[in-house]
Protein backbone atom coordinates (compact mmCIF):
# COMPACT_ATOMS: atom_id res chain seq x y z
CA UNK A 1 0.00 0.00 0.00
CA UNK A 2 1.43 3.35 -1.02
CA UNK A 3 1.95 5.99 1.62
CA UNK A 4 -0.27 9.07 1.71
CA UNK A 5 2.29 11.25 -0.10
CA UNK A 6 2.60 8.86 -3.03
CA UNK A 7 -1.18 8.43 -3.28
CA UNK A 8 -1.75 12.20 -3.21
CA UNK A 9 0.99 12.87 -5.80
CA UNK A 10 -0.39 10.11 -8.03
CA UNK A 11 -3.98 11.37 -7.71
CA UNK A 12 -2.98 14.95 -8.57
CA UNK A 13 -0.33 14.31 -11.22
CA UNK A 14 -0.59 10.74 -12.47
CA UNK A 15 -2.12 9.19 -15.55
CA UNK A 16 -2.58 5.45 -15.16
CA UNK A 17 -1.08 3.61 -18.14
CA UNK A 18 -1.39 -0.01 -17.07
CA UNK A 19 -1.48 -2.81 -14.57
CA UNK A 20 0.57 -6.00 -14.38
CA UNK A 21 -0.45 -9.54 -13.43
CA UNK A 22 0.47 -8.85 -9.79
CA UNK A 23 -1.88 -5.86 -9.45
CA UNK A 24 0.86 -3.20 -9.53
CA UNK A 25 -0.28 0.05 -11.18
CA UNK A 26 1.94 2.07 -13.54
CA UNK A 27 1.76 5.83 -14.06
CA UNK A 28 3.21 8.75 -15.98
CA UNK A 29 2.50 12.48 -15.57
CA UNK A 30 -0.75 13.96 -16.88
CA UNK A 31 1.21 16.96 -18.17
CA UNK A 32 4.41 16.62 -20.16
CA UNK A 33 7.30 19.01 -19.50
CA UNK A 34 9.05 20.14 -22.69
CA UNK A 35 12.61 18.95 -23.02
CA UNK A 36 12.52 16.75 -19.93
CA UNK A 37 12.46 12.99 -19.73
CA UNK A 38 9.07 11.64 -18.71
CA UNK A 39 8.79 10.58 -15.08
CA UNK A 40 7.37 7.05 -14.68
CA UNK A 41 6.43 5.26 -11.48
CA UNK A 42 4.75 2.22 -10.00
CA UNK A 43 2.32 1.92 -7.11
CA UNK A 44 2.77 -1.58 -5.71
CA UNK A 45 -0.07 -3.80 -4.66
CA UNK A 46 0.82 -4.82 -1.13
CA UNK A 47 4.37 -4.45 0.09
CA UNK A 48 6.66 -2.23 -1.99
CA UNK A 49 9.18 -4.73 -3.37
CA UNK A 50 11.06 -3.92 -6.58
CA UNK A 51 11.41 -7.60 -7.48
CA UNK A 52 7.63 -7.69 -8.02
CA UNK A 53 7.99 -5.68 -11.26
CA UNK A 54 7.90 -7.94 -14.36
CA UNK A 55 10.67 -7.48 -16.98
CA UNK A 56 8.45 -5.78 -19.57
CA UNK A 57 7.32 -3.14 -17.07
CA UNK A 58 10.84 -2.75 -15.67
CA UNK A 59 12.03 -1.89 -19.18
CA UNK A 60 9.28 0.71 -19.55
CA UNK A 61 9.92 2.27 -16.12
CA UNK A 62 13.63 2.68 -16.91
CA UNK A 63 13.07 4.09 -20.43
CA UNK A 64 14.60 1.03 -22.10
CA UNK A 65 11.49 0.82 -24.28
CA UNK A 66 9.17 3.64 -25.36
CA UNK A 67 5.95 1.68 -25.81
CA UNK A 68 3.77 0.76 -22.84
CA UNK A 69 3.85 -3.04 -22.41
CA UNK A 70 0.86 -4.89 -23.82
CA UNK A 71 -0.79 -8.07 -22.58
CA UNK A 72 1.24 -10.09 -25.11
CA UNK A 73 4.48 -8.62 -23.73
CA UNK A 74 3.54 -9.89 -20.28
CA UNK A 75 3.08 -13.47 -21.50
CA UNK A 76 6.09 -15.52 -20.41
CA UNK A 77 8.17 -17.39 -22.94
CA UNK A 78 8.18 -21.20 -22.79
CA UNK A 79 11.72 -21.17 -21.35
CA UNK A 80 10.98 -18.63 -18.58
CA UNK A 81 10.39 -19.66 -14.98
CA UNK A 82 7.45 -18.26 -13.03
CA UNK A 83 8.29 -14.99 -11.29
CA UNK A 84 9.27 -15.20 -7.62
CA UNK A 85 9.73 -12.13 -5.43
CA UNK A 86 12.92 -11.63 -3.43
CA UNK A 87 12.68 -14.23 -0.64
CA UNK A 88 15.65 -12.99 1.40
CA UNK A 89 14.77 -12.88 5.09
CA UNK A 90 11.85 -15.29 4.77
CA UNK A 91 11.51 -19.00 5.56
CA UNK A 92 11.62 -19.66 1.79
CA UNK A 93 15.03 -18.02 1.30
CA UNK A 94 17.83 -20.12 -0.20
CA UNK A 95 20.15 -21.60 2.40
CA UNK A 96 23.19 -23.52 1.22
CA UNK A 97 24.17 -26.85 2.70
CA UNK A 98 25.75 -26.31 6.12
CA UNK A 99 23.74 -23.17 6.89
CA UNK A 100 22.94 -22.94 10.61
CA UNK A 101 19.18 -22.85 9.86
CA UNK A 102 19.51 -25.94 7.66
CA UNK A 103 21.12 -28.27 10.17
CA UNK A 104 24.54 -26.61 10.35
CA UNK A 105 26.41 -29.69 9.09
CA UNK A 106 28.75 -29.20 6.15
CA UNK A 107 30.11 -31.89 3.87
CA UNK A 108 33.62 -33.09 4.67
CA UNK A 109 36.44 -31.40 2.79
CA UNK A 110 37.55 -33.33 -0.29
CA UNK A 111 41.26 -32.56 0.03
CA UNK A 112 41.41 -30.67 -3.27
CA UNK A 113 42.23 -27.40 -1.51
CA UNK A 114 45.81 -26.30 -1.07
CA UNK A 115 46.50 -23.39 1.25
CA UNK A 116 48.71 -20.59 -0.03
CA UNK A 117 52.00 -20.21 1.79
CA UNK A 118 54.28 -17.20 1.30
CA UNK A 119 57.82 -17.97 0.20
Number of neighbouring beta carbons within 10 Å of residue 69? 20
**Boundaries of every domain in the chain:** 4-77
Predicted pLDDT at 34: 82
Predicted pLDDT at 29: 94
Q: What is the mean pLDDT of residues 25-33?
A: 91
Report the distance separating Cα 10 and Cα 16, nearest Å: 9
Predicted pLDDT at 89: 86
pLDDT tier, 1 (very low <50, low <70, confident <90, very high otherwise): low
Q: Which of 10-14, 47-51, 83-87 has the lowest mean pLDDT?
A: 83-87
C-alpha distances in Å from residue 89, one per residue of 53, 65, 93, 101 = 19, 33, 6, 12
* Residue 56: strand, helix, or coil: helix
Amino acid sequence: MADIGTRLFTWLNGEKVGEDQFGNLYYRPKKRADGQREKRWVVYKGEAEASKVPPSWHAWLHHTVVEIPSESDAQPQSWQKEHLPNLTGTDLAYRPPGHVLKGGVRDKATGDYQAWRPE
